[in-house]
């Protein structure tokens, strides 16, 4: 029995080059990293430009409302400003698991942020 068609098929083990495949994978990873860093840098540039060209008065009001960046991140922005309920702060209630009490939560509203970033 003569299997001539088996000999005519290319031998993949001999034709594939592991160095070439390794280089292609590294090039792909480099491309993905460059794309990610490019996207992040464009986003940060856009935010910086919007902050620079935004409403400085509203930005300073938001800074005085929030008091610190940590309070903004933790959702602890006070809902009263100068003794009056501040409509620019979205308010809520959370349960403090350490002692079971209710705790006021506040974050800057979308309107307050968008007015500062016009």
Residues of the domain holding 24: 20-116
Provide the pLDDT for residue 43: 96
Residue 99 domain-assigned? Answer: yes
Residue 93 domain-assigned? Answer: yes
Residue 3 has φ and ψ, to the nearest 5°, of: -105, 70
In total, how many domains does the chain have? Answer: 1
Provide the pLDDT for residue 30: 95
| pLDDT tens for each residue of 42-94 | 999 998 888 888 788 888 887 887 888 888 888 788 888 777 887 888 888 88
- For the record, the structure tokens of 80 come out as 């009263």
Comparing 4-8, 31-35, 97-101, 113-117, the range with the smallest average pLDDT is 4-8
Residue 34 domain-assigned? Answer: yes
Residue 6 domain-assigned? Answer: no
Residue 5 domain-assigned? Answer: no
Return d(Cα 5, Cα 8) in angstroms, integer: 5
Residue 61 domain-assigned? Answer: yes
Residue 9 domain-assigned? Answer: no
pLDDT of 8 over the 60 cut? no
**Average pLDDT, whole number, for the chain?**
80
Return d(Cα 25, Cα 17) in angstroms, integer: 13
């Amino acid at each position: 029995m003569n299997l001539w068609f088996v000999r005519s098929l290319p031998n993949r083990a001999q034709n594939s080059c592991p160095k070439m495949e390794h280089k292609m994978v590294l090039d792909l990873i480099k491309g993905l990293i460059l794309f990610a860093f490019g996207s992040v840098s464009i986003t940060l540039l856009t935010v910086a430009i919007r902050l620079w060209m935004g409403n400085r008065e509203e930005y300073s009001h938001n800074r005085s409302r929030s008091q610190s960046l940590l309070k903004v991140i933790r959702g602890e922005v006070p809902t009263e400003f100068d003794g009056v309920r501040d409509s620019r702060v979205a308010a809520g209630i959370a349960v403090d698991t350490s002692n079971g009490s209710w705790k006021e939560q506040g974050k800057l509203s979308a309107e307050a942020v968008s007015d500062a970033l016009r």
